[in-house]
């Protein structure tokens, strides 16, 4: 059948689905995810794409009746699929292949008899792992009135069993990785309610911004003003010397963002435990030039997303204030160049206009998206004294 005709069949099926009430845990979001996995597996292993597409769209129609489970639900899905297929123009052989794939897809202990069925089974199971899997388990538990016990059962038993029954190595690889998140989620569910006593007397202020934004200069100007008011101030700069030593030992992979992230993580953990937290407990004010926010910006292009990197930094005390010095890239670049007296070859890898532009955007995104942070964005294009005065006004208003 031509590509145009296949699209017409798909469109007609989607119209039929739109007119039906679908299970909220097996709605279009689930169908689109299953279809996405199925199409990728089909591109690797072949099979009839039209059969796979239609089967993926129709495979869970029986879920609209939450009192049906297991094979009863699959049987209902087949019956509902037959009704829809009766109004689309497909050869009988393809309809039969679609129904066989649907019939055999949802049993962990059954290997489907066709390639299309095995692809559908893996695609459907893959859509049940990780964050999306947890979401669907919770919704299905609510739909079936089984509550929290079913959520624990699915995470502890059903999800691992489904992983064992996957057909294709690509599926196993992805599911194994997604299981790590599910296992973490399950471990958090098991934790008893607990509030840690982490009260401190000091204040933790973070100064951030792209290279050339003047954050170190502002920290030096801010320190004596705080000390004049009687504050004991400790200034720290990240990364520290231990990171630089460790980086030298990893010089062959020094530019790998994942290696950088874990070296920085170790260096930051050492700094927080040995210097920052003791200072805050004593009641000191800590001024930190750079922080975990820099890792969210500089190492985000590695294997880990910003949310995962932020979670790894749970040991960092919540800052009392984050000051982001925002600066036009051309001005920042000129300041960086002036610092090395115009010798461009002496500038850092993060000081090109392209990198500065990307980092500026990311800093603004991170600060604006992290709603739990007490933060302020200051235009850093003015004179040192004018920026220092704005900084001081923000410190007075938010910290003192």
Summarize the chain as % helix, strand, coil (round to 5).
65, 5, 30
What integer is the mean pLDDT of 253-265? 82
User: In the prediction, which pLDDT does 2 show?
Assistant: 56
| DSSP for residue 233 | E
Tens of pLDDT, residues 149-194: 999 999 999 999 999 999 999 999 999 999 999 999 999 999 999 8
The tokens describing 322, both together, are 């984050």
The tokens describing 305, both together, are 């997303």
Return d(Cα 392, Cα 142) in angstroms, integer: 52
Q: In this model, does residue 392 exceed pLDDT 90?
A: yes
Q: In this model, does residue 137 exceed pLDDT 50?
A: yes
Percent over 90 (pLDDT), the chain: 61
User: In the prediction, which pLDDT does 303 show?
Assistant: 54
Return d(Cα 31, Cα 169) in angstroms, integer: 22
| DSSP for residue 244 | H
Q: In what order do the strands lie in the sheet with 321-326?
A: 233-237, 285-289, 203-209, 321-326, 375-379
How many Cβ atoms sit within 10 Å of the Cβ of residue 195?
Answer: 5
Q: In this model, does residue 199 exceed pLDDT 80?
A: no
Tens of pLDDT, residues 294-331: 998 987 765 567 788 888 899 999 999 999 999 999 99
**Which fold does the domain 3-190 belong to in CATH?**
Hypothetical protein af1432 (1.10.3210)
CATH of 203-398, one of 3.90.190.20, 3.40.50.300, 3.40.309.10, 3.40.50.1360: 3.40.50.300
Q: In this model, does residue 373 exceed pLDDT 90?
A: no
What integer is the mean pLDDT of 207-233? 96
Q: What is the pTM of this model?
A: 0.81
**Residue 61 pLDDT grade (very low, low, confident, very high; cuts 50, 70, 90):** confident
More confident residue, 275 or 242: 275
Return d(Cα 294, Cα 281) in angstroms, integer: 25
The tokens describing 341, both together, are 């007296």
Boundaries of every domain in the chain = 3-190, 203-398
User: In the prediction, which pLDDT does 326 show?
Assistant: 97
Q: Are the folds of 3-190 and 203-398 the same?
A: no
Q: Of how many residues is the chain composed?
A: 400
Q: Are 178 and 133 in contact (CB under 8 A)?
A: yes
Bridge pairing between strands 203-209 and 321-326: parallel
């Amino acid at each position: 059948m031509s590509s145009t005709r296949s699209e017409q069949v798909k469109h007609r099926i989607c119209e039929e689905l739109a007119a039906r009430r679908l299970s909220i845990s097996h709605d279009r979001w689930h169908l689109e995810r299953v279809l996405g996995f199925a199409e990728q597996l089909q591109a690797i292993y072949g099979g009839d794409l039209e059969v796979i597409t239609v089967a993926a769209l129709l495979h869970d129609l029986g879920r609209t009746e939450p009192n049906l489970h297991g094979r009863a639900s699959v049987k209902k899905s087949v019956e509902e699929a037959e009704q829809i297929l009766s109004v689309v123009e497909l050869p009988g052989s393809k309809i039969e292949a679609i129904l066989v794939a649907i019939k055999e897809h949802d049993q962990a202990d059954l290997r489907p008899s066709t390639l299309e069925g095995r692809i559908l089974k893996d695609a459907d199971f893959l859509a049940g792992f990780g964050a999306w899997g947890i979401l669907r388990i919770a919704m299905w538990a609510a739909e079936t009135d089984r509550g929290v016990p079913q959520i624990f059962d699915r995470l502890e038993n059903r999800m691992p069993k489904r992983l064992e029954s996957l057909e294709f190595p690509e599926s196993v690889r992805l599911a194994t990785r997604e299981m790590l998140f599910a296992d973490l989620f399950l471990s958090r569910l098991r934790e008893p309610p607990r509030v840690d006593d982490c009260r401190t007397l000091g204040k933790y202020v973070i100064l951030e911004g792209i290279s050339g934004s003047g954050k170190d200069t502002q920290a030096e100007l801010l320190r004596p003003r705080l000390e004049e008011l009687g504050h004991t101030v400790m200034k720290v700069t990240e990364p520290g010397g231990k990171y630089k030593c460790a980086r030298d030992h990893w010089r062959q992979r020094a530019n790998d963002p994942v290696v950088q992230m874990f070296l920085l993580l170790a260096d930051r953990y050492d700094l927080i435990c040995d210097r920052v937290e003791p200072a805050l407990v004593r009641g000191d004010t800590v001024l930190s030039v750079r922080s975990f926010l820099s890792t969210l910006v500089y190492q985000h292009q590695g294997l880990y997303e910003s949310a995962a990197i932020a979670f790894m930094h749970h040991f960092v005390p919540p800052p009392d204030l984050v000051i982001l010095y925002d600066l036009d890239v051309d001005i920042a670049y000129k300041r960086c160049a002036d610092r090395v007296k115009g010798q461009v070859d002496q500038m850092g890898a993060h000081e090109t206009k392209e990198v500065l532009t990307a980092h500026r955007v990311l800093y603004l995104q991170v600060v604006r998206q992290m709603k739990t942070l007490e933060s302020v964005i200051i235009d850093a294009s003015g004179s040192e004294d004018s920026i220092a005065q704005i900084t001081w006004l923000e410190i007075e208003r938010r910290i003192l």
